């Protein structure tokens, strides 16, 4: 059992079971690159401020670089005896360069160090998620344009409501994902703040230059309160909240793919590459990928609740409870990135059955609103028109026929304003083309929406690139 860096105040060594219980190295080891990156910036700042000599800083920076390469190559064992990634790196540094390595921790604490590491990690995660999301938007927009003239039933209460363009339906998800990207962009701004220099909780007595460290690590701002800096986990909770909403949107889309790929709907064919078979039924083609997208949404929700519950009763400032913040955040990051990557590979492989969709759109008296609007244009109050058409639907249902099967004389029994020109508006094409209101399902409006989203996606990608840190 190795002696801890903080062992001086203790008479007894740590119990072996306690070492296992308190160790975080098995999950925070993935922060090693960020930990070393932050340490190098901190070390150079200490030298520029005269707290370390330049010779000492050079030795430390060289040693940290060697440790980075050792971990990259899998040559440095990271186990529970090293407690956490910070102690593992510092211990190895002192093995390599001696006591001068112990000077690295001057003017900082593990409290502000881990806050820095997780912010650096989350910064990269959020940038990657934003890029993946904008690719999702691009692919959905391409699908919409490709299927611009496909008409499908629009649903409310999962019942046929009114005909819409499939492209319009797909562009609804584009709007959801653009909101998700916007939330992540706002979250990124609050992540992108330097906490290093706050030390344990009260700041430091050494004449450090936090602005210099911030520039070196690409942070545009530094924290204003050292107590908040070391205890704040809002940025992790906010990321998990934004991710929960993102996964909810993916889950809604996945649910529709599951429904639409059934024999009962048969609206879409999902590529074999994204389905699996049955161990007993040879004919099965199961939409496992969309199903897992729904399922993985649950774990992201759970991670959000875990973090909220973790932090809700913590007094200022740092408490060891906060060690438990990383696994939910890491799991959410991994789940969201993988789900988006798989979604982006699956989208181009979807094949929509336009004929089947259009045939379904004509069922269920989906053009009833067209009849009501027709009467309104003839001067009939909408509530009266609604009642008349309801009676007409009931009549047609009893006889098992559609509006277009009725004679003009038959229609006039329900209202004298119903005439032969009604049949000109009782087509699916007319129903969608005439919905020209802003955000409506007419082909013209959907084309405009596609064009606007293309421009916006390009602009947002430019912002992602601008947000990407320039490290000095």
Give the alpha-carbon dihedral of 377, 380, 386, 389, to 10 degrees.
Answer: -80
Active-site annotation holds for 251: no
The residue count for the chain: 472
| Helix spans in 347-439 (H) | 354-361, 368-377, 382-399, 408-412, 428-433
CA dihedral 462, 468, 469, 471 (to 10 degrees): -90
Cα distance between residue 174 and residue 168, in whole Å: 10
Tokens of 75: 């040559």
Token duo for residue 5: 């860096």
For residue 159, report the phi and psi dihedrals to the nearest 5 degrees.
-110, 150
Distance of CA 254 to the CA centre of its chain: 15
Q: What is the distance between the alpha carbons of residues 155 and 147, in angstroms, rounded to a whole number?
A: 18
DSSP codes, 85-96:
HHHHHHHHHHHH
Q: What is the DSSP string of 277-302?
A: --SS-TT--B-HHHHHHHHHHHHHHH
- Torsion angle in degrees (nearest 10) through CA of 361, 362, 364, 370: 100
Give the H or E element holding residue 124: helix 110-146
Q: Is 26 a catalytic residue?
A: no
User: Of these residues, 2, 16, 278, 472, which one is catalytic?
Assistant: 278
Dihedral of the CA atoms 35, 470, 43, 319 (nearest 10)? -40
Choosing from 157, 279, 437, 438, the catalytic residue is 157
Closest of 22, 5, 18 to residue 109, by C-alpha = 5
Judge contact between 24 and 83, C-beta under 8 A. Answer: yes
Positive or negative, the CA dihedral 166, 168, 170, 173 is: negative
The set of catalytic residues is 157, 278
């Amino acid at each position: 059992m190795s002696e801890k860096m903080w062992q001086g105040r203790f008479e007894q060594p740590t119990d072996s079971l306690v070492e296992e219980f308190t160790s975080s190295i098995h999950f925070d080891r993935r922060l090693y690159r960020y930990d070393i990156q932050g340490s190098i910036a901190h070390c150079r700042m200490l030298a520029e401020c005269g707290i370390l000599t330049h010779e000492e800083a050079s030795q430390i920076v060289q040693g940290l670089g060697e440790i980075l390469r050792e971990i990259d190559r899998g040559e440095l064992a990271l186990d529970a005896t090293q407690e956490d990634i910070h102690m593992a790196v510092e211990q190895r540094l002192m093995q390599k360069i001696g006591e001068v390595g112990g000077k690295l921790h001057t003017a900082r604490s593990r409290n502000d160090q881990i806050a820095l590491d997780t912010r650096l990690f989350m910064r990269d995660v959020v940038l990657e998620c934003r890029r993946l999301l904008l690719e999702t938007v691009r692919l959905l927009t391409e699908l919409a344009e490709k299927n611009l003239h496909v008409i499908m039933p629009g649903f409310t209460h999962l019942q046929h409501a009114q005909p819409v363009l499939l492209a319009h339906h797909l562009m609804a998800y584009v709007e959801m994902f653009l909101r998700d990207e916007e939330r992540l962009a706002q979250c990124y701004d609050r992540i992108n703040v330097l906490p290093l220099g706050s030390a344990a909780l009260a700041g430091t007595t050494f004449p450090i230059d936090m602005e210099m460290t911030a520039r070196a690590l690409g942070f545009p701002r530094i924290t204003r309160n050292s107590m908040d800096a070391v205890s704040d986990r809002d940025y992790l909770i906010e990321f998990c909240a934004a991710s929960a909403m993102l996964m909810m949107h993916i889950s809604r889309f996945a649910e529709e793919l599951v429904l639409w790929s059934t024999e009962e709907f048969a609206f879409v064919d999902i590529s074999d590459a994204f389905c699996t078979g049955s161990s007993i039924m040879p004919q099965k083609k199961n939409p496992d990928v969309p199903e897992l997208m729904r399922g993985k949404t649950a774990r992201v929700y759970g991670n959000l609740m875990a973090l909220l519950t973790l932090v809700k009763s913590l007094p200022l400032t740092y408490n060891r409870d906060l060690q438990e913040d990383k696994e939910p955040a890491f799991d959410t990051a991994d789940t969201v990135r993988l789900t988006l990557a798989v979604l982006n590979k699956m989208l181009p492989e979807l094949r929509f059955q336009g004929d089947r969709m259009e045939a379904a759109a004509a069922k269920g008296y989906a053009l009833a609103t067209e009849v009501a609007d027709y009467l309104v244009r003839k001067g009939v109050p909408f509530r009266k028109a609604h009642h008349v058409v309801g009676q007409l639907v009931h009549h047609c249902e009893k006889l098992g026929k559609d509006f277009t099967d009725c004679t003009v004389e038959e229609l006039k029994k329900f209202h004298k304003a119903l005439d032969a020109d009604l049949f000109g508006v009782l087509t699916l094409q007319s129903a969608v083309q005439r919905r020209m209101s802003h955000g409506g399902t007419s082909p013209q409006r959907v084309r405009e929406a596609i064009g606007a989203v293309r421009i916006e996606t390009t602009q947002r990608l430019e912002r992602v690139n601008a947000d990407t840190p320039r490290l000095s």
